[in-house]
Chains A and B, each alone.
Chain A
Amino acid sequence: MIAGETLCDVESVKAVSDVFSPVTGTVSEVNEALADSPEMINETPYEAWIARIEGVSEVEDFLDAAAYVAFCEKE
């Protein structure tokens, strides 16, 4: 998995959206429960993990949850 590549897609009633991998590495594990209960992403976004990526290289500076909320409020 290379940073920027599509990790998975999320389907809603009207649209399909790609989720892009933020890092380069190897996907070691996938949360199978999500396939049966995709609503976990809406209901518990901080607990419903999508994939475990190992051997991570090319890490950028990412926003943490608080910084992201602040970023959204500025927009």
Chain B
Amino acid sequence: MEKKTPLYEVHVSEGGKIVPFADYLLPVQYPTGILAEHEAVRTQAGLFDVSHMGEVMFSGSTALASINHLITNDYATLGTGRMRYGILCNECGGCIDDLIVYKFGDEEYFVVVNAANREKDVAHMAANALPGTVVEDVSDGIAQLALQGPRSRDILSRIADPTRLPEKYYSFVRHVSVAGTDCLVSQSGYTGEFGYEIYTSAENAVTLWGAIRGAGEGFGLLPCGLGARDTLRLEASMPLYGHEMDDQTTPLEASLGFCVKFAKDEFIGRDALVATGAPSRIRVGLVATGRGIIREHQDVYVGDRHIGTTTSGTFAPHLRRAIAMAIVDVTCATTGTEMEVDVRGHRVTARIVHMPFYKHARIASATNHQPRERYDHGTRSRRPQVHDVPRVDIGAGRHVYDRAHRLCPGCPR
């Protein structure tokens, strides 16, 4: 029996097309459609109900030690009011889930996990937390909305004190009053745009949604469903559990080495990852150069040699190109390599490009620091630094500059 978020009736009344996802009933799109919702987030703002996500509290004197034992990243250096991405690994180095840890205090950590993996994660965490740590699944009492897009700050400032909004990427503020409701606001998201994730108690969800929708009216805010959530994250080259990583894939193979800190004394999976060494296959970004749309679970070839499989793929609504991510043999994983993907029986040519496919422009109205570590594209070439990577200029017609092999709609095919 599928579950409903507190906003189910709202989605139905707004004409949302409801589908089952991770045991929940959620809108895949509204009457506006995926393309319009996607573009709204890229140019103005979109609002997502992500209340299905799981939230787990770690508390106690050994909370930090438990977090560091369970998760690949190093949280000893995480400050209060900051968040950090990490992977929950199994003993073989495979990924159980990807997640974000929020530090509430030295003895209090708030961990946000994928809805589909919530029960599995909590069982693993409870079984492996150190004595002295209490692990509590608090998901059911919490609703989460994501407000994403360049107008997000303007919209939120109409119903919340702007001086209380988080100023830095991957930072958060607790007990922000948003339209009278008590919220945790973090500057984060899964779209590749500037935006916020807003947590409140389940009882306040409907009020909060309505307040943000109202505040967003003059700014072109659209409600957005799961369809746009997927195309947005894929355009931003963000991995999705079950696609780019699973329990048979290590974080290194998924090009998430930036969040695996081998310098830590230990964490579950560390020994296996060290023993395996450099991965033999790695995640890359592809753009189709021939006609066709590449999707997930399609075989990738260089000539007759099968070198890997696609993990996600779509026609990117904003970039207007068919893009995909794949995990391929590391010897072929160089930017610019031409390959072919078997799309329903016929071969579509494709080329490896740098990730992320899309990167948003700096927002003038807030201090928006890009995270220092980006997804590792797994090649030996120098990773472009934030300051020298040309960005999508949202103000002036959304032209993506091509730099070397970077994605560009004007690029000759």
Contact = CB atoms under 8 A, between A and B. Distances in A.
- Do A and B bind? yes
Interface of A: 9, 11, 13-14, 16, 35
The 4 closest A-B pairs by CB, nearest first: A13-B34, A11-B293, A14-B227, A13-B315
B317 A13 contact: yes
B343 to A, nearest CB: 9
A35 B314 CA distance: 17
A11 B344 CA distance: 12
Contacts of B293: 11, 16
A6 B122 CA distance: 46
Contacts of A14: 28, 34, 227, 230, 314
Contacts, number: 19
Given A13-B34, A14-B28, 17 more contacts: A9-B344, A11-B293, A11-B315, A13-B35, A13-B227, A13-B231, A13-B314, A13-B315, A13-B317, A14-B34, A14-B227, A14-B230, A14-B314, A16-B293, A16-B295, A16-B344, A35-B291
Contacts of B315: 11, 13
Nearest to A36: B291
B403 to A, nearest CB: 27
A11 B34 CA distance: 14
A30 to B, nearest CB: 14
B16 to A, nearest CB: 15
Contacts of B230: 14
A35 B292 CA distance: 10
Contacts of B295: 16
Nearest to B317: A13
Contacts of A9: 344
11 contacts: A9-B344, A11-B315, A13-B34, A13-B227, A13-B314, A14-B34, A14-B230, A14-B314, A16-B293, A16-B344, A35-B291
Contacts of B291: 35
A27 to B, nearest CB: 17
Contacts of A16: 293, 295, 344
A14 B228 CA distance: 9
Interface in B188-244: 227, 230-231
A13 B28 CA distance: 12
A11 B292 CA distance: 9
A8 to B, nearest CB: 12
Nearest to B33: A13
Interface string B13-40: 0000000000000001000001100000
A67 B219 CA distance: 42
B391 to A, nearest CB: 24
A15 to B, nearest CB: 9
B266 to A, nearest CB: 42
Interface in B365-384: none
Nearest to A9: B344
B230 to A, nearest CB: 8
Nearest to B322: A11
B12 to A, nearest CB: 19
A66 to B, nearest CB: 25
A14 to B, nearest CB: 5
Nearest to B29: A14
A14 B29 CA distance: 11
Interface in B324-382: 344
A9 B317 CA distance: 20
Contacts of B34: 13-14
A35 B35 CA distance: 20
Nearest to A13: B34
Interface in B278-332: 291, 293, 295, 314-315, 317
Contacts of B35: 13
Of the candidates A9, A13, A14, A16, the one having the most CB atoms from chain B within 10 angstroms of its own CB is A13
A19 to B, nearest CB: 14
A9 B231 CA distance: 21
A16 B322 CA distance: 14
Nearest to A11: B293
Contacts of B231: 13
A14 B296 CA distance: 11
